[in-house]
Amino acid sequence: MTKDKPFNRPDMSLQPRALTPEYRSSRLRSPMRKLLSFTPSQGELLGPNFGHDVINLNDNDLIINYAAPGKAAIGEQIMVHGYMLDENARPVSNSLLEFWQANSGGRYRHKRDGYLAPLDPNFGGCGRTITDGDGYYSLRTIRPGPYPWPNGGNDWRPAHIHFSCFGLGWAQRLITQMYFEGDPHIPLCPIVQSIANGKAVDCLTARLDMEHTVPMGFRAFRFDIILRGQGSTLFENKLEGN
Amino acid sequence: MIRSQSASQTAGPYVHIGCTPSFAGLKNMYGGHDLGAEMFSSDTSGLLITIKGRIFDGAGMPVTDAMLEFWQADSTGQYASQGGSQGWARRAVDAELAGYSLQTILPAAIGEDAPHIKVWVVARGINLGLHTRIYFDGQANANDPVLTSINDPVRKSTLIAIRDGESYNFDIHLQGENETVFLNV
């Protein structure tokens, strides 16, 4: 990346609005005033750099990283992998990714989650990794279950994995969620539908990847993450409608 | 643009599992050490300060599942660009009062930018993470480009941490009369 060019702003034709009343929690947690625009300073272009030494072996293997020795999490074993790139298709390399998710029954290991599905003693639901020089990452996990949540009476979250992405500059910081191709809850979920743009929802939906699916082993899913890029001029902005 | 930027989704109420697993009670995850527990190593030079505050929603209720991240320059005006997490910290607010406490050093001014700490706020109900800044009462804030662009003194005051005994206080209001100024970063 270049150190002197500001990152492109959030593209509000792709990003969710702050207030999306169907997602009830957004009603009192959405600022009503316009975000203040300003000229970014150096601190927005730089960001924390964690280095590969913060990562331990198996941090990105949720099947075993919380399990007792010789044990494994219960559920359908999968690999999720892909590239973290910017809008210019440049790799976002050596950058921290954190993941969290419910277990195969749709239950989180969290004191506030009282869903009836049992906890799995061998599943924490937490992982992390650092992208390589090409922006590539991978994790092994079990496919999370869908679960009901208190919103509109009978709302269910589609199966999903939360992704926390640092990028290379503070302005790129992103938390998002990955969904699974074909999940019938995707069009029904008020959190997913906080994104008005169907193509943007599609980009959060991982695809079954038979090429990397291991015969008699586990299925692979492909999920790319695209962070904001640098150096789009005002003119380009207009062309692209952002 | 060749690729479209990924859309944000809420961090949800269980963000702690992924970002502060020890706080969430995941025993010995990552060696029992949550990333970002310390802003700087203890031998970093500068004026030690403590910032405390709470985060509220539009009804004045504490946002007890929020996570805050902080990013700042050191006392010489440098951002850590390599090695470790210096100048970056994160806090899960407490589950009762939605309070946080951050020990750090006062960042230096850089050019016209007054000393400040960048803050990123996520929680259930926040679809796109919110950026703001903590400035400090009593510092040379007069020419800061962000502060001078805000005409309303009440709005401006939402970005300035106030001395409260030995520490600074900085509350965040997501919505309402005292709504914090959030930045288009």
What's the pLDDT score for residue A52? 85
Question: B65 contacts in A (CB within 8 Å)?
Answer: 112
What's the pLDDT score for residue A239? 40
What's the pLDDT score for residue B82? 44
Is A177 within 8 Å of A162 (Cβ atoms)? yes
User: Which one is catalytic: A108, A115, A136, A222?
Assistant: A108
pTM: 0.95
Name the residue with higher pLDDT: A116 or A242: A116
For A211, other C-beta atoms within 10 Å of its C-beta total 7
Is B18 within 8 Å of A175 (Cβ atoms)? no
Reported in sequence order, the residue ranges of chain B that DSSP labels E, i.e. its strands, are 48-56, 67-72, 88-92, 99-105, 116-122, 130-136, 160-164, 167-169, 172-173
A137 and chain B in contact, CB less than 8 A: no
Chain B contact probe: residue of A3, A41, A86 with most B CBs at under 10 A: A41
Is B7 within 8 Å of A16 when comparing Cβ atoms?
Answer: yes
Name the residue with higher pLDDT: A239 or A201: A201
Share of chain A above pLDDT 70, in %: 94
Domain extents for chain A? 49-240
Q: Which residues 31-90 of chain A have a CB within 8 Å of chain B? A: 31-33, 35-44, 46-51, 54, 56, 59, 65-66, 85-89
Round the average pLDDT of chain B to a whole number and report it: 95
| Locus of tokens 């002197």 | A4
Is A49 within 8 Å of B83 (Cβ atoms)? yes
Is A27 within 8 Å of B18 when comparing Cβ atoms?
Answer: no
Nearest Cα neighbor of A160 from A84, A221, A101, A74 is A101
Least confidently predicted of A97-101, A122-126, B162-166, B171-175: B162-166
Chain A contact probe: residue of B14, B20, B90, B93 with most A CBs at under 10 A: B14
Share of chain A above pLDDT 90, in %: 89
pLDDT digits (tens, 9 = 90+) for A171-209: 999 999 999 999 999 999 999 999 999 999 999 999 999
What's the pLDDT score for residue A53? 86
Domain extents for chain B? 36-173
A124 and chain B in contact, CB less than 8 A: yes
What is the average per-residue pLDDT within A95-103? 98
Is A195 within 8 Å of B29 when comparing Cβ atoms?
Answer: no
Is A35 within 8 Å of B184 when comparing Cβ atoms?
Answer: yes
What is the average per-residue pLDDT within A129-157? 97
| Residue A160 a catalytic site member | yes
For B23, other C-beta atoms within 10 Å of its C-beta total 17
What's the pLDDT score for residue A87? 97
**pLDDT higher than threshold 80 for residue A212:** yes
A22 and chain B in contact, CB less than 8 A: no
What's the pLDDT score for residue A232? 64
**pLDDT higher than threshold 70 for residue A235:** no
Chain A contact probe: residue of B29, B159, B185 with most A CBs at under 10 A: B185
Fold assignment, A49-240: Protocatechuate 3,4-Dioxygenase, subunit A (2.60.130)
User: Which one is catalytic: A81, A128, A140, A157?
Assistant: A157
Share of chain B above pLDDT 70, in %: 97
Instruction: Please give the Cα distance from B119 to B68 (Å, whole number).
Output: 7
Please state the φ and ψ torsions of residue B134, each to the nearest 5 degrees: -105, 115
* Cα first-last separation, chain A: 21
| Residue A212 a catalytic site member | no
Which CATH number among 3.40.50.150, 1.10.10.10, 2.60.130.10, 3.40.50.720 corresponds to the domain B36-173? 2.60.130.10
What's the pLDDT score for residue B83? 45
**pLDDT higher than threshold 80 for residue A234:** no
pLDDT digits (tens, 9 = 90+) for B76-85: 999 987 444 4
